[in-house]
């Protein structure tokens, strides 16, 4: 597709701007999405065509990946939220919910001003209100909608027309009843959503450890919030994501197509992501005269400015460092994804056009595509921008009052100072002064640690085992997801080594079980897992995972150590991670005492069942086209095996799985292909194939 065929012919007056450089080695927050609010009770539901326009990501669609819904205080009205929520979720969107008021039976009247609200929750109804929110979550789950989170309250600090809470009451409610809100559900508790990012609410939660532990995500609104007020380092470094969950910019009384006023939307998004380190940006009403979708169901100019982000910066992308203001009035942010691409969004909010040169640092460009919104362009596409002879830079015009998105494909993915490659200069082949091959303290950076599954790794800013920093692993949705570290060539297959690290969880159950494991490819190319050490600790206490004489399997290739938990998916901390020669004693937290009255649900023994065959309990998928099956243990089993159905017959794939494990990970397979699988047990020398067709499962490779 040529530029002439796509873009209108008009002259752009430009000046030269200084070089804008992307540094993929310096990372910030993981992006969870962009979206808006659907509130059928107040403005009517989206139509089916409008749902596709909003949550689809095809041509002339918004590509939204977040949906906020209303927790009606009348439970008989809850069904109104279901249709759009189910559709959004089917398109991969994250759905979360916010209450404005408790039910009438739980509230008392206020003075209808921002200091007392229209209503206040009666203090003798706190538990009942927690149950009300819990019931809403379970109702939505029963309708097939798994809420990511539910908030405590919409704008409790600007509550003339809804329910007012004092800061102390909010914190106490979260500490005392936060777990009750989400009990028995998959949802997290979101903090109250301040109307203007007022810091007192959040500081109060940060200052109460129990309340902080009960919060899974922080939410705020940006009404009147200036760029300088978006920075909140204490919250940004707490290890939990922050979402901007409601705003309209710059007003609600002008048409959403008014230009260049619509550029303020992109400017506000940029400020929230770069200054506030927000992981999500969610508009007020999706469909409104001043919103991203006009009343006629067409995308507005404000919507196209949002789409410059939402269509190309997708969930899981990570914001990276870039020259944020290469010249006056130009604001740039950048994001990298798992496809080896970097997305650059440039907002020119000035009256001057610029010729801007972009650099991707030490990376090599193979392709650059651009989408642009101006006064007379809506996501206008230009494929294959010219790459300079250096291979890592390109030029682009940034018209006055415009938003441009560049999707840059890199040769071999992104390179950075923290990547885990096999270059000799990065190998840890010699011992340091303490006799260690590696010693990760996390005081300066995360070293060679990277995410294991879809997680986010951060310096914690709090709760270290030693020193001032630890690494915190956040946004875990499966127990196996965590943090991993590749081993250098100093760790030779077939030889023994000493490993140690200290792990702690602040937000989970009374106790948790942790595993330090090794994953590797064996001689056949199959992915294998081996446990190095495990430990149990009460919440808030570090446990040392250590083994002074662990032998790496002799056929291991691409060996990686990682940490996972038995059941929980809450954040955990790692500090003082060490690898050393065999026999090296490494001092650490040891095994903390478990309170005698504690009912530990994290017993490392596998779950048993009374059948003579394994019962599959879960199937987990990875972004490397693999899956992992977990099953219940069978008493007296001699071995486990994996079977698959092909050409009308059951066939054996694996038949020597040890009874010490109740999981198996597949090799890499073809994406999109579906397999019919079964897990079997050998008892008294024979494989039990009873009810084999009834207990088979289907697995589709992602």
Burial category of 510 from C-beta neighbours within 10 Å (exposed 0-12, middle 13-18, buried 19 and up): middle
Angle between helices 126-142 and 167-182 (to 10 degrees): 40
Beta carbons within 8 Å of 97's beta carbon, 6+ residues apart: 68, 69, 70, 71, 81, 136, 137, 140, 147, 149, 150, 151
DSSP state of 503: E
How many Cα atoms within 13 Å fall on the side-chain side of residue 49?
Answer: 6
Beta carbons within 8 Å of 243's beta carbon, 6+ residues apart: 32, 190, 217, 218, 219, 220, 278, 279, 280, 281, 282
**How many other C-beta atoms can be found within 10 angstroms of the C-beta atom of residue 485?**
22
φ, ψ (nearest 5 deg) of residue 470: -135, 175
Given a contact cutoff of 8 angstroms between Cβ atoms, the answer to whether 56 and 394 are in contact is no
Q: CA-CA distance, 616 to 679, in Å (whole number)?
A: 7
Task: Return the closest-CA partner of residue 577 out of 455, 461, 443, 423.
Answer: 443
Q: How far is CA 28 from CA 16, 31, 75, 229, in A?
A: 29, 9, 40, 19
Q: CA-CA distance, 367 to 387, in Å (whole number)?
A: 8
- The torsion angle over the Cα atoms of residues 692, 695, 698 and 701, rounded to 10 degrees, is -90
Which residues are tagged catalytic?
Answer: 155, 246
Q: CA-CA distance, 448 to 454, in Å (whole number)?
A: 17
Rg of the Cα atoms in the chain: 27
Given a contact cutoff of 8 angstroms between Cβ atoms, the answer to whether 534 and 625 are in contact is no
The three-point CA angle 646-649-652 to 5° equals 75
CA 229, chain centre distance (Å): 25
Given a contact cutoff of 8 angstroms between Cβ atoms, the answer to whether 459 and 469 are in contact is yes
Beta carbons within 8 Å of 640's beta carbon, 6+ residues apart: 614, 631, 634, 657, 658, 659, 661, 662, 664, 679, 680, 681, 682
Strands 20-30, 365-374: pairing is unpaired
**Number of continuous H segments (helices) and E segments (strands) in the chain:** 11, 40
Q: CA-CA distance, 259 to 11, in Å (whole number)?
A: 18
DSSP state of 355: E
Given a contact cutoff of 8 angstroms between Cβ atoms, the answer to whether 578 and 474 are in contact is no
**How many other C-beta atoms can be found within 10 angstroms of the C-beta atom of residue 356?**
27
Determine if the peptide bond prior to 260 is cis (ω within 30°).
yes
Given a contact cutoff of 8 angstroms between Cβ atoms, the answer to whether 201 and 156 are in contact is yes
The residues pairing with 267 across neighbouring beta strands, listed in sequence order, are none
The three-point CA angle 239-245-251 to 5° equals 140
Task: Return the closest-CA partner of residue 169 out of 122, 238, 214.
Answer: 122
């Amino acid at each position: 597709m040529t530029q002439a065929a796509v873009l209108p012919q008009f002259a752009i007056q430009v000046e030269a701007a200084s070089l804008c450089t992307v540094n993929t080695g310096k990372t910030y927050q993981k992006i969870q999405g962009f979206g808006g609010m659907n509130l059928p009770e107040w403005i009517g539901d989206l139509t089916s065509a409008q749902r596709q326009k909003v949550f689809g990501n095809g041509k002339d669609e918004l590509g939204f990946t977040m949906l906020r819904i209303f927790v009606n205080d009348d439970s008989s009205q809850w069904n109104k939220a279901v249709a759009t929520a189910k559709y959004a979720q089917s398109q991969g969107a994250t759905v979360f919910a916010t209450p404005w008021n408790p039910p009438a039976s739980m509230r008392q009247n206020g003075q209808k001003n921002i200091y007392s609200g229209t209503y206040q929750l009666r203090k003798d109804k706190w538990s009942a209100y927690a149950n009300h929110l819990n019931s809403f979550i379970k109702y939505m789950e029963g309708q097939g909608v798994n809420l990511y989170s539910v908030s405590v309250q919409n704008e409790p600090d600007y509550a003339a027309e809804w329910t007012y809470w004092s800061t102390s009451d909010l914190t106490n409610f979260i500490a005392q009843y936060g777990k009750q809100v989400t009990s028995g559900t998959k949802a997290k508790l979101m903090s109250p959503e301040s109307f203007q990012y007022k810091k007192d609410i959040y500081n109060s939660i940060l200052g109460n450890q129990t309340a902080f532990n009960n919060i899974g995500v922080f939410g705020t609104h940006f009404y009147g919030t200036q760029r300088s007020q978006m920075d909140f380092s204490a919250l940004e470094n707490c290890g939990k994501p922050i979402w901007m969950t409601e705003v309209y910019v710059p007003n609600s009384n002008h048409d959403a197509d008014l230009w260049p006023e619509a550029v303020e939307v992109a400017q506000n998004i940029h400020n929230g992501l770069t200054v506030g380190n927000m992981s999500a940006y969610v508009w007020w009403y999706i469909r409104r005269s001043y919103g991203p979708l006009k009343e006629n169901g067409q995308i507005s100019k404000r919507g196209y400015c949002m789409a410059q982000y939402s269509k190309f910066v997708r969930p899981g992308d990570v914001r990276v460092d870039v020259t944020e203001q290469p010249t006056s009035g130009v604001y740039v942010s950048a994001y990298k994804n798992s496809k080896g691409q970097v997305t650059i969004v440039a907002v020119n909010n000035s009256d001057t056009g610029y010729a801007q040169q972009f650099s991707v640092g030490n990376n090599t460009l193979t392709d650059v595509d651009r989408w642009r919104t101006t006064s007379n362009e809506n996501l206008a596409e230009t494929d294959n921008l010219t790459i300079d002879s250096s291979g890592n830079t390109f030029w682009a015009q940034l018209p006055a009052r415009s938003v441009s998105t560049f999707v840059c494909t890199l040769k071999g993915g992104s390179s950075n100072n923290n990547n885990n490659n096999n270059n000799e200069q990065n190998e840890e082949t010699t011992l340091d002064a303490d006799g260690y091959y590696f010693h990760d303290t996390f005081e300066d950076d995360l070293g060679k640690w990277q995410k294991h599954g879809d997680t986010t790794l951060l310096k914690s800013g709090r709760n270290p085992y030693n020193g001032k920093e630890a690494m915190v692993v956040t946004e875990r949705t499966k127990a196996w997801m965590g943090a991993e570290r590749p081993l250098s060539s100093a760790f030779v297959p077939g030889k023994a080594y000493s490993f140690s690290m200290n792990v702690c969880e602040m937000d989970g159950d009374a106790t948790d079980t942790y595993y330090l494991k090794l994953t590797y490819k064996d001689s056949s190319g199959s992915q294998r897992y081996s446990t190095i050490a495990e430990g149990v600790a009460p919440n808030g206490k570090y446990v040392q995972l250590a083994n002074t004489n662990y032998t790496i399997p002799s056929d291991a290739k691409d060996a990686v150590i990682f940490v996972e938990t038995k059941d929980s998916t809450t954040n955990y901390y790692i500090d003082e991670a060490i690898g050393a020669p065999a026999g090296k004693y490494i001092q650490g937290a040891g095994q903390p005492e478990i309170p005698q009255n504690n009912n530990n649900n994290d017993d490392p023994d596998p779950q048993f069942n009374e059948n003579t065959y394994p019962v599959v309990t879960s199937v987990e998928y990875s972004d490397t086209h693999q899956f992992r099956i977990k099953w219940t243990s069978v008493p007296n089993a001699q071995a486990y095996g994996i079977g698959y159905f092909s050409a009308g017959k059951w066939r054996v794939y694996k038949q020597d799985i040890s009874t010490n494990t109740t999981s198996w990970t597949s090799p890499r397979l073809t994406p999109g292909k579906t397999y019919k699988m079964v897990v079997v047990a050998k008892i008294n020398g024979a494989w039990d194939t009873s009810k084999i067709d009834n207990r088979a499962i289907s697995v589709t490779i992602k």
